[in-house]
């Protein structure tokens, strides 16, 4: 028996398509409202055809910003022909930590060709699997690319900006699915942000106003927030660091928007977050080896400038980090000691994301490393690849190791990545199925 005017419970992040082809719908345009019919709610709504005729539909890609309580109604006859809708979050859709660890781009060779940009390397975090590489994911990358910002929503993963083996910046925002691992699609561009030039999405050049993302990114399943980091070519080619933080929707395609500023300019901070708050930890403050001990925090869904959170243990750069929505871990990185070249650390620092204060010791990696990757499934924090040398980049290595968030301690052997040694990858974790 048919239910007349049923109450509906729908998931944010899902797309629902309603078939309005039955003749009984003639003269009754079906729409949504958040204010009892005073105005029509149109965000994510697509209407096709004429109600009561073949092919008539209304599709709704429900955005994360939609309120909890809404209604469907007839625009010709009001809410008397409608009913209540309750919107709830689908944890599988909006989660930003998953079991499939992945990295994008990065440098796989220190040779002049510096190959390795057009791929994804992935592995299972819970089963500690060996890494696998999938080629030709990003067709619009024009050269070796690394230092990308990244964000995750379930299986949907964003890769934002980055720089190539020279001094060229990439202005595109791409999305790929870490379950299907098919070709990435264009999601938006950075060219309108920070007053950048109007080059086409995906273009490269040496314009002095272009920016490198330099990692330092986080996501809450709805929004990816990232720190831009560096202008190449300013100050007579030396380059300048900057404070700007941007954001972009993961669910809906679009260009970058301004979020606010860090407390001081730096490049490549570690980023970690829970559902509401994000931390930017340390980072490079100037060439060649100057690091910062500053920890800033922001509210992900509220654009505004960052606020001081506390201090890291070292003036640090080139570190990496991960989180389990409560604890932020910062692993490795380099620090300077007077005039001595950068030393690459095995130290692992800890911050409780909702508790302001300085970093505390969590443990040590088995080997010091910098310019590496980290991912988390909420149980394990995995550090992988990078390099270790007192005097320079040295040899890349593929050793993976992990630590358990619930038990402070030193790194434990995870796996070898086989031939996939990389520097400066973009990385994250997403749904595996």
Q: Are strands 307-317 and 334-337 parallel, antiparallel or unpaired?
A: antiparallel
What is the structure's pLDDT at 240? 72
* Preceding peptide of 288 cis, ω within 30°: yes
What is the structure's pLDDT at 197? 40
Tokens of 266: 């730096």
Q: Are strands 412-416 and 399-404 parallel, antiparallel or unpaired?
A: antiparallel
What is the structure's pLDDT at 206? 38
Q: Phi and psi for 93 in degrees, rounded to 5?
A: -85, -35
Residues 191, 198: contact at Cβ < 8 Å? yes
What DSSP string describes 156-198? EEEEE--EESSSPBP-EEEEEETTT----EEEEESTTSTT---
Rounded Cα distance between 374 and 384, Å, is: 6
Rounded Cα distance between 127 and 53, Å, is: 52
Residues in the chain: 433
Which helix (H) or strand (E) segment holds residue 3: the answer is none
Neighbours of 41 (CB within 10 A): 17
> Please, which residues have CB within 8 angstroms of residue 62's CB and are 6 or more apart in sequence?
10, 11, 12, 13, 14, 15, 16, 44, 87
Residues 397, 387: contact at Cβ < 8 Å? yes
> Please, which residues have CB within 8 angstroms of residue 355's CB and are 6 or more apart in sequence?
none
What sign for the dihedral angle of Cα 134, 136, 138, 142? positive
Strand residue runs (E) in 39-166: 45-48, 57-61, 69-74, 78-89, 100-104, 119-124, 132-135, 145-146, 149-153, 156-160, 163-164
| Cα-based distances in Å from 282 to 111, 132, 159, 229, 230 | 29, 31, 22, 12, 15
Rounded Cα distance between 215 and 226, Å, is: 7
Is 170 exposed, middle or buried (CB count within 10 Å of its CB: 0-12, 13-18, 19+)? buried
Closest listed residue to residue 297, CA positions, set 316, 311, 317, 318: 311
What DSSP string describes 350-413? EEETTS-S--EEEEE-SS--BS-EEEE-SSEEEEE--B--SSS---B--EEEEEETTS----EE
Long-range CB contact pairs, 7-10, < 8 A, 24+: 7/83, 7/84, 7/85, 7/86, 8/72, 8/83, 8/84, 8/85, 8/86, 9/85, 9/86, 9/87, 9/88, 10/60, 10/62, 10/85, 10/86, 10/87, 10/88
Q: What is the DSSP letter of 2?
A: P
Closest listed residue to residue 147, CA positions, set 251, 244, 226: 226
pLDDT by residue for the chain (433 residues), tens only, comes to 567 889 999 998 888 999 999 999 999 999 999 999 999 999 889 999 999 999 999 999 888 778 999 999 999 999 999 999 999 988 777 899 999 999 998 876 655 445 556 788 899 999 998 888 888 888 877 667 788 899 999 999 999 988 775 567 788 899 999 999 999 999 999 877 765 443 333 333 334 445 677 789 999 999 999 998 776 654 444 567 878 899 999 998 999 999 999 999 888 899 999 999 999 999 988 765 688 999 999 999 999 999 999 999 988 888 999 999 999 999 999 876 544 445 678 899 999 999 999 999 999 998 888 889 999 999 999 999 888 764 444 566 778 999 999 999 999 998 766 667 788 889 999 999 8
Query: Which domains, and CATH codes, for the chain?
Result: 8-89 (2.60.40), 93-430 (2.120.10.80)
Residues 34, 70: contact at Cβ < 8 Å? yes
Rounded Cα distance between 95 and 282, Å, is: 26
Rounded Cα distance between 95 and 153, Å, is: 6
What is the structure's pLDDT at 230? 75
Closest listed residue to residue 226, CA positions, set 208, 250, 206, 207: 250
Rounded Cα distance between 284 and 319, Å, is: 10
């Amino acid at each position: 028996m048919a239910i007349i005017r049923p109450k509906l419970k729908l998931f944010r992040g899902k797309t629902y398509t309603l078939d309005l082809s039955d003749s009984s719908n003639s003269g009754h345009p079906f729409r949504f409202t958040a204010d009892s019919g005073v105005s029509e709610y149109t965000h994510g709504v697509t209407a096709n055809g004429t109600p009561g005729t073949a092919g008539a539909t209304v599709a709704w890609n429900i955005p994360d910003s939609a309120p909890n309580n809404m209604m469907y109604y007839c625009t010709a006859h009001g809410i008397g022909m409608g009913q209540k809708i309750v919107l709830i979050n689908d944890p599988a859709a909006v989660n930003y930590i998953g079991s499939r660890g992945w990295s994008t781009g990065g440098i796989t060779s220190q040779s002049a060709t510096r190959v390795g940009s057009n791929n994804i390397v992935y592995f299972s975090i819970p089963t500690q699997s060996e890494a696998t590489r999938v080629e030709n994911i990003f067709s619009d990358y024009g050269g070796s690319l690394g230092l990308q910002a990244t964000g995750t929503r379930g299986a949907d993963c964003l890769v934002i900006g980055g720089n190539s083996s020279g001094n060229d910046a990439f202005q595109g925002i791409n999305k790929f699915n870490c379950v299907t691992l098919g070709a990435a699609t264009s999601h938006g561009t950075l060219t309108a942000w920070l007053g950048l030039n109007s080059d086409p999405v995906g273009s490269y050049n040496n314009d002095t106003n272009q920016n490198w993302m330099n990692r330092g990114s986080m996501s809450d399943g709805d929004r990816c927030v990232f720190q831009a980091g560096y202008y190449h070519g300013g100050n007579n080619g030396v380059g300048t660091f900057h404070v700007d933080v941007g954001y972009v929707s993961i669910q809906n395609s679009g260009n970058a928007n301004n979020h606010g500023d860090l407390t001081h300019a730096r490049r490549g901070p570690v980023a970690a977050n829970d559902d509401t708050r994000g931390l930017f930890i340390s980072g490079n403050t100037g060439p060649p080896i100057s690091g910062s001990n500053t920890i800033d925090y922001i509210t992900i869904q509220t654009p505004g400038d960052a606020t001081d959170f506390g201090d890291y243990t070292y003036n640090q750069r080139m570190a990496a980090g991960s989180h389990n929505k409560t604890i932020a871990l910062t692993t490795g990185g380099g620090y300077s000691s007077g005039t001595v070249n950068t030393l690459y650390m095995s130290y692992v620092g800890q911050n409780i994301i909702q508790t302001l204060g300085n970093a505390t010791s969590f443990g040590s990696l088995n080997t010091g490393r910098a310019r590496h990757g980290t991912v988390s499934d909420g149980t394990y924090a995995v550090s992988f690849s990078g390099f270790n040398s007192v005097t320079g980049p040295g040899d890349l290595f593929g050793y993976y190791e992990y630590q358990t968030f619930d038990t402070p301690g030193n790194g434990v052997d995870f796996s070898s990545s086989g031939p996939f040694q990389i520097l400066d990858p973009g990385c994250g974790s997403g749904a595996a199925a």
